[in-house]
Structure 1
């Protein structure tokens, strides 16, 4: 599977501009989903070495991927299926968790091995703190040889502080039902992806679940379409065929 080329990462934008934009996100100005997507995009544009970024939300003890900048982040956020990982731990504890070398990580060996297979060399997950509580995490994935340094971690921590306020503002405006619906959609997306993986595994005897996911991800990248849309199309195709 292809992975992001470090040479393709754009030079980071001025952090002050990103902080100013986050500070201007007012209560009710835009939907929660749009805010989350913009936070992820700004983080990728602002934090040096971030090849891909995801934002996770924490609600009633449950953590779900809410926004990501590309298929790489979407794949690695599958760690939720195992019930643990740096993203989840950062979201629940409010701390910053780094993996400097995914090829040699004792703390998260399963996640690190999965990341290394995707070409991710190092990661950083930062809790999003608001008024003595954590509402989620910002997850950064790096593909070059140099891990995130102390200056980058300080910048990412500052970014997370501004982002947390922006997300909280959007979350306050969104009703509890809307937030629950967002989480439900995330779960439904994961379900349809699992269905699509099962279809591919049935079509190709011997194909593993990871290989099936990689195939879906590759199709997503080649067609520049969302992974869940690719999966849903495959599932619909099979369902229509069964009705004929």
Structure 2
């Protein structure tokens, strides 16, 4: 595929309307079709709880990725951590990850390229390309892969922002709900005890401490007891 056509297709994807997994899979598919000699392509994501292959074009890529995760070492993990580009020009003479290189050679891989995703938030990652012949990925291939990796990073950043915004909205909604029920409980106490708002809140806080319960739960219990039909 012509690179311009591939990037145009990626540009038509509305990041806010498409699942992250689908975006990453499309990035992997288009990279395989566009970067010369790319036999299989995968996308590695590394979070606090570990690494995973979020998208892959074939089982060979997934298996070589997952072997690295199990051993906690390999080019895709190092590229994800450093954010740089790591080429394995020839697996038969690779000395940085010799055991992984032997496994790759046995699987029919002659060379590989891992490009770190330019993002440093809750998740880092890499775009991984595998080729049958040695020295398959030249500087032009690295540049092309970098563009695909950049688009994957934008999708990741967009997803992270959406998740953060959604989490904040949920927290604010919970806080508003808690405040509302506490105000209701204070009103009930003020009516029953003929006391001020501060005194009513102090009574709720004391009950919370004595029962080792959250203030919101104490307030909600009181509101339920005095509500009609409770």
**Shorter chain as normaliser: what TM range?**
0.5 to 0.7
The CA RMSD over aligned residues, in Å, is 2.5
- Counterpart of 1:40 in structure 2 is 28
Counterparts of 1:106 and 1:61 in 2: how far apart (Å)? 29
Deviation at 1:21, TM superposition (A): 2.4
SS at match of 1:39: helix
Larger-Rg structure: 2
SS at match of 2:53: strand
CA contact (8 A) 1:94 1:134 kept: no
The TM-score normalised by the length of structure 2 is 0.65
CA contact (8 A) 1:58 1:135 kept: yes
Match runs of 1:11-22 below 5 Å:
13-22=1-10
Counterparts of 1:152 and 1:40 in 2: how far apart (Å)? 14
CA contact (8 A) 1:35 1:167 kept: no
**Larger relative contact order, structure 1 or 2 (CA cutoff 8 Å, min sep 6):** 1
Counterparts of 2:153 and 2:55 in 1: how far apart (Å)? 14
- Counterpart of 1:25 in structure 2 is 13
* Aligned CA distance change for structure 1 residues 168 and 17 (closer, same or farther; 3 Å): farther
Match runs of 1:39-188 below 5 Å:
39-60=27-48, 62-78=50-66, 79-130=68-119, 135-174=124-163
SS at match of 2:43: strand
Counterparts of 1:131 and 1:145 in 2: how far apart (Å)? 31
- Counterpart of 1:210 in structure 2 is none
**Runs (5+) with no aligned partner, structure 2:** 167-230
**Runs (5+) with no aligned partner, structure 1:** 1-12, 178-244
Counterparts of 1:70 and 1:160 in 2: how far apart (Å)? 18
The TM-score normalised by the length of structure 1 is 0.62
Counterparts of 1:131 and 1:104 in 2: how far apart (Å)? 32
- Counterpart of 2:222 in structure 1 is none
Residues paired across the two proteins, number:
166
